[in-house]
Amino acid sequence: MDNSGLYVGLDIGTTSIKVIVAEKVKGQLNVIGVGNEPSNGLSRGVIVDIDQAAEAIRGAVDQAQEKASIEIKDVIVGAPANMLKIEPCNGLITIDDRSREITAEDVRNVASSAMGTSLPQEREVVDIQPEEFIVDGFDGIKDPRGMVGVRLEMRGKLITGSKGIMHNLQKAVEKAGLNIQSMILTPLAESHQLLNDGEQDFGTIIVDLGGGQTTATVFHDHQLKFATTDPEGGEYITKDISIVLNSSMSNAEKLKRDYGYADSLQASADNEFPVEVVGQSEPTYVDEKYLAEIIEARLSQVFDRLKDQLEQVSALELPGGIVLTGGVAALPGIADLAADQFNTNVRVYIPDQMGLRHPSFSSVLSLVSYYSDLSDIQLTVRSAVSATMTAVPKVVERSSQPTSSKPVAQNDSKHQKNNKKKRGEGIKNFFSDFFD
């Protein structure tokens, strides 16, 4: 039977807070309300001022509930990938009565057993991903409920994060007057929305180019295998433009959005635009290519650092290549630049829902899509995680929902070797001028 209901996603980013209200009817997810508020109280993807963050969250929620004509109380919150650790886990319980069927409570107990590994005080369980259940030695079971057995085991992946980061996130949401329906690891939600079945199976990298930081996550065999964050994002590009062109941050952000290219080879030196310069009454004219070189220089730094991390786990050998998303992914030429630097196939994901056709909305859309498609057994396991987080109420179990296919926007990318050489020289010269 199809799930039906309203879902509210909350994506708390460094530069903006986004809220969407979506209604699911007969397997179709329709967005009926959107809120988008500039962030306050965040730095590099984490909350550093709870009061300011709560106020910004409330502002985004107010916008969304006004447009959707509903009152928002419960939200599905995205948890950042900062300081994540992924490790295998195993749980084991015995069933008292060998004649009774395995219940949802038994599943919660075996999941709790799998989380029983003693964690350092600074760590907290963010999620647990069941890979299989084993009943009396018979493995490969996806849902053991209704079966009869004496020994129930669960094998999976335990994902933990910083207790401080998670606490501040929960506290800010609560202070905004909201209940956390579920805390979802944002990269997991994005894999569900951005990747097709083959990409999740054979292996793909998602690079989320956010305002405050950049996150790279690796998926293989439908599991999150690796995550890393780089402390630079779109804000750093804006700062570079501001410093180099001697213009205000607000003007620099507008220049980036209106005239920016990620790939300087695609920008034109003939197209000029006015730039308001601090201390000058008349604007200075700058060409697209010069602006693109500023943007490309910072992006190349970020990509180089991510490449080093991804090469250490052989992720760039996976056939799915890279999927780019996040606000910075809207820059023209971003897929070409990334393809050249990572030496793999790259595409950009853009949501196709009306009013959300910008990669900056990928995360918040992913949260509601992922949660609304969770199966009953996944919700049951997740409720064991919720019980360990005092700020998070237990998840209400629902019937399973079949996964629907997700369209993606593709951007194929190839460059000639001589172009790569020219780009490398341009970036090198740019760094020597402005960043040394």
**How far is the CA of 230 from the CAs of 234, 350, 414, in angstroms?**
12, 22, 25
Integer Cα distance of 185 and 366 in angstroms: 10
pTM: 0.85
Count the Cβ atoms, other than its own, within 10 Å of residue 332.
16
What is the pLDDT, as a whole number, of residue 426? Answer: 53
What share of the chain has pLDDT > 90, as a percent? 76
What is the pLDDT, as a whole number, of residue 116? Answer: 80
Query: 118: Cβ–Cβ under 8 A, 6 or more apart, which residues?
Result: none
DSSP annotation of 208 reads: E
Q: Tell me the mean pLDDT in the region 284-295.
A: 97
Residue 96's pLDDT band (cuts 50, 70, 90): confident
**How far is the CA of 67 from the CAs of 238, 339, 389, in angstroms?**
31, 39, 31
Report the b/e string of 179-188 with b at 16+ CB within 10 A.
ebbbbbbbbb
Integer Cα distance of 333 and 413 in angstroms: 9
- Average confidence score pLDDT of the chain: 88
Cα 356 from chain centroid? 16
Q: Whose CA is closest to 300, among 331, 348, 332, 341?
A: 341
The per-residue pLDDT for range 29-72, each reduced to its tens digit, is 999 999 999 999 998 888 999 999 999 999 999 999 999 999 99
Pairing of strands 5-12, 74-79: parallel
Residue 435's pLDDT band (cuts 50, 70, 90): very low
Residue 391's pLDDT band (cuts 50, 70, 90): very low
Q: Answer whether residue 1 shows pLDDT above 70.
A: no
What is the pLDDT, as a whole number, of residue 420? Answer: 52
What is the pLDDT, as a whole number, of residue 385? Answer: 86
Q: Which of these CATH numbers, 3.40.50.300, 3.20.20.140, 3.30.1490.110, 2.60.120.200, describes 85-162?
A: 3.30.1490.110
Q: Tell me the mean pLDDT in the region 86-99.
A: 89
Tokens of 230: 């780089």
Q: Tell me the mean pLDDT in the region 213-241.
A: 95
More confident residue, 403 or 432: 432
How many CA atoms within 13 Å lie on the side-chain side of 353? 23
Q: Tell me the mean pLDDT in the region 388-399.
A: 41
What is the pLDDT, as a whole number, of residue 395? Answer: 34
Q: Answer whether residue 123 shows pLDDT above 60.
A: yes
What is the pLDDT, as a whole number, of residue 25? Answer: 85
The per-residue pLDDT for range 296-349, each reduced to its tens digit, is 999 999 999 999 999 999 999 999 999 999 999 999 999 999 999 999 999 999
